[in-house]
Amino acid sequence: MRVMGVDPGLTRCGLSVVESRSGRQIIALDVDVVRTPADEPVPRRLLAISDAIEHWLDTHHPDVIAIERVFSQQNVSTVMGTAQAGGVIAVAAARRDIDVHFHTPSEVKAAVTGNGGADKAQVTAMVTRILGLQAKPTPADAADALALAICHCWRAPMIARMAEAESKVAEQRKKFAAKVRAAT
Ranges of each domain in the chain: 2-157
121-140: pLDDT as tens digits: 999 999 999 999 999 999 99
Confirm if 145 and 6 have CB atoms less than 8 A apart: yes
Res. 20: pLDDT tops 80: yes
Instruction: Determine the CATH number of domain 2-157.
Output: 3.30.420.10
The predicted model gives 56-79 an average pLDDT of: 85
68-79: pLDDT as tens digits: 988 665 667 678
Which is more confident, 48 or 159? Answer: 48
Q: How many angstroms separate the CA atoms of 125 and 18, rounded?
A: 17
Which is it for strands 2-7 and 12-20: parallel, antiparallel or unpaired? Answer: antiparallel
* Catalytic residue set: 7, 68, 141
